[in-house]
Chains A and B, each alone.
Chain A
Amino acid sequence: MPHVQVALAAAGFRRYATYRQAALAGAFTNVVFGFMRCYILLVVAAQAGGSVGGYTGPQLVSYVWLGQGLLAVVNSWTQLDLAERVRTGDVVADLLRPINPLWTYLWTDLGRAGFAMVTRFIVPVVVGAIAFGLYVPRHLLTYPLFLVSTALAVLVCFACRYLISLTAFWMLDIRGVTMFWVFVSGAASGLYFPLAILPGWLSAVLWVATPFPALMQAPLDVAVERGGLAHGLLVTGGQLVWVVLLLLACRWVQHNAVRKLVVQGG
């Protein structure tokens, strides 16, 4: 069985490794956004006396540039092929295979994230380090914990997007749902600004009741050691809970969706 998972992940990796120019183009865009967000947050921090929401200057720089790198790894803006395959009816082929499509898509997406990690993640982080200088973590343990937290963020995001794709079984066209997802996941995940800037009650609600902070804010807080190692372990544990809950939700919704399936066309 592990053989299958490795093969699927490798296929996901190779699929994206084929489009190296697209990866380069994407990294360029991340760098432009990195410069913009970095200057904005640094100016706000300077006006506020050196720090914003508990982040010092170097922490903000790391926050922005690691965030731009993570964006492509977590990949919240590109939907899975599943929805389009439901619309066209190709999903039948997925369902006929001896492996649950949930796991097929999951392992393929992990392969994609692996490729993004060695290309799209590296470029903005290197540019940020050269242009502004990044925050250097104090604990050695932060490095492995950041990798774990990133992997969990990829899984949370995958499960969210899988749920969105499953709505295609009812709506056929998921552009409307996708649009909401893109806006909410951008603002509520900490991509645009650290959630700590928001009023206390609002960021608390986001952390406890929604999976969005688990997408970006959690791994970024781990990387810049906000609140120390204990806080890092806490948010990573929270991510793990979301992974389990969301994957269970995926299985349950898929179970109901398949019963509803009407294959389009001949």
Chain B
Amino acid sequence: MAESGVVAVYARVVGAQIRSQVQYRGSFLLEVFGSMVTNALDVATVFVLFSVTGGLGGFGGTEVLLMAALSAVCFSWGDLVMGNSERLREYVRTGMFDSLLLRPLSSLAQLTAITFALRRVGRAVQGLVLYVIALLLADIDWTVGRVVLAVLAPIAGTVFFASLFVAGATVAFWWIESGEVANAFTYGGRDFTSYPSTMYGGWFGDLFTLGIGFGFVAYYPSLALLDHPDPMGVPSWLHWCSPVVALIAASLAALFWRVGVRHYRSTGS
């Protein structure tokens, strides 16, 4: 199939999806509005805790805002693109995944097209606005490198969260009732990255910050933008590495997805 033909097919599937979602108009409008409030509430939660002592983990207001806003923009865009992939569980359980494999298009791209949620657009746009405001408020010594990072960091974080959503959904090929385990890393990751990584202690903090790589979503890019040394002693060149980490995450998720699809056995009904 020609490239433009493939795009047209995706556009049609997404269009049909949008039309079906706006059928219950009252409910849909509430959802769009509700999803816009979400980011604001998430960031407000960070600042409720901030207000207790006027600082969090050794960082000031504009620095904490930058990390929270970067986390919000990465999660909301990752959620917009891949967030609904958790519905794969339903497709595997009922055997409906067969219908995706029968079509001459990538099964992963089809899954994202048929689970596209228009209501999340509001939230994603709002996250972006918040990030720009945080960049303007923060005390950043702008250089070419930092401008590039300021643009790349939200893209890298989005790719990182989208990879997590795909990897989490893929587990369903082996373990259908796994849904909530994935939530620990997707929604859990959103909460984790909203705060400076210095707040988490022990093996748990190291595992999530460096092991899984959540530090590279918002914490390290913010340190690089602010020219702030890491209180935990991670060398400063690593602060710039979030695009590399995102590429690794995406490759691993794609590989995992392929293995998962190979493993898929239909229900036979």
Q: A29-B181, A171-B27, A176-B27 are in contact. List 17 more A-B contacts (CB 8 A).
A: A21-B175, A22-B177, A25-B181, A28-B181, A28-B184, A29-B184, A35-B204, A40-B195, A43-B56, A44-B53, A47-B52, A53-B52, A171-B26, A175-B31, A179-B30, A180-B34, A197-B49
- Which residues A34-60 have CB closer than 8 A to chain B? 35-36, 39-41, 43-44, 47-48, 52-53
Check A197–B48 contact: CB distance below 8 A: yes
Q: Of the candidates B38, B183, B185, which one forms a contact with A183 in the assembled complex, judged by CB atoms under 8 Å apart?
A: B38
B178 at the interface (CB under 8 A from A): yes
A228 at the interface (CB under 8 A from B): no
- On A, residues with C-beta under 8 Å from B are 19, 21-22, 25-26, 28-29, 32-33, 35-36, 39-41, 43-44, 47-48, 52-53, 171-177, 179-180, 183, 187, 192-193, 197-198
Also in contact, A32 and B184, with CB within 8 A (given A22-B177, A39-B205, A183-B38):
yes
- How far is it, in angstroms, between the C-alpha of A174 and the C-alpha of B175 when the chains are bound? 29
Q: Of the candidates A33, A35, A44, A179, which one forms a contact with B35 in the assembled complex, judged by CB atoms under 8 Å apart?
A: A179
Interface of B is mostly: helix
Q: Which residue of A lies closest to B178 (CB)?
A: A25
Check A173–B177 contact: CB distance below 8 A: no
Min C-beta distance of B214 to chain A, whole Å:
10
Interface of A is mostly: helix
Q: Of the candidates B30, B51, B192, which one forms a contact with A176 in the assembled complex, judged by CB atoms under 8 Å apart?
A: B30
Q: Which residues of B contact A53 (CB under 8 A)?
A: 52
Also in contact, A28 and B180, with CB within 8 A (given A171-B27, A179-B34):
yes
Check B56–A173 contact: CB distance below 8 A: no
Also in contact, A172 and B24, with CB within 8 A (given A32-B188, A36-B192, A39-B205):
yes
B16 at the interface (CB under 8 A from A): no
The 7 closest A-B pairs by CB, nearest first: A176-B30, A173-B24, A179-B34, A32-B184, A176-B27, A29-B184, A173-B27
Q: Of the candidates A35, A44, A172, which one forms a contact with B52 in the assembled complex, judged by CB atoms under 8 Å apart?
A: A44
Min C-beta distance of A176 to chain B, whole Å:
3
Min C-beta distance of B93 to chain A, whole Å:
12
- How far is it, in angstroms, between the C-alpha of A3 and the C-alpha of B37 when the chains are bound? 46
> Chain B interface residue count: which class?
35 or more
Q: Of the candidates A26, A48, A192, A197, which one forms a contact with B180 in the assembled complex, judged by CB atoms under 8 Å apart?
A: A26
Q: Which residue of B lies closest to A49 (CB)?
A: B53
Check B52–A48 contact: CB distance below 8 A: yes
Residue pairs across A and B with Cβ atoms less than 8 A apart, 23 shown, are A21-B178, A22-B179, A22-B180, A25-B181, A28-B181, A29-B181, A29-B184, A36-B188, A36-B200, A39-B200, A40-B49, A43-B57, A43-B199, A44-B52, A171-B27, A176-B27, A176-B28, A176-B29, A179-B35, A180-B34, A180-B37, A183-B38, A198-B48
- How far is it, in angstroms, between the C-alpha of A174 and the C-alpha of B34 when the chains are bound? 13
B41 at the interface (CB under 8 A from A): yes
The 0/1 profile, CB within 8 Å of A marked 1, for residues 180-209 of chain B is: 110111001001100100011110110000
Check B181–A39 contact: CB distance below 8 A: no
B55 at the interface (CB under 8 A from A): yes
- How far is it, in angstroms, between the C-alpha of A2 and the C-alpha of B204 when the chains are bound? 48
B94 at the interface (CB under 8 A from A): no
Q: Which residues of B contact A44 (CB under 8 A)?
A: 49, 52-53, 56
Min C-beta distance of A75 to chain B, whole Å:
13
Check B45–A187 contact: CB distance below 8 A: yes
- How far is it, in angstroms, between the C-alpha of A233 and the C-alpha of B185 when the chains are bound? 38
Check A39–B204 contact: CB distance below 8 A: yes
Q: Of the candidates A19, A22, A40, A183, which one forms a contact with B199 in the assembled complex, judged by CB atoms under 8 Å apart?
A: A40
Also in contact, A39 and B35, with CB within 8 A (given A32-B188, A47-B53):
no
Q: Which residues of B contact A187 (CB under 8 A)?
A: 41, 44-45
Check A19–B49 contact: CB distance below 8 A: no
Check B191–A179 contact: CB distance below 8 A: no
Q: Which residues of B contact A176 (CB under 8 A)?
A: 26-31, 34
- Which residues B11-43 have CB closer than 8 A to chain A? 24, 26-31, 34-35, 37-38, 41
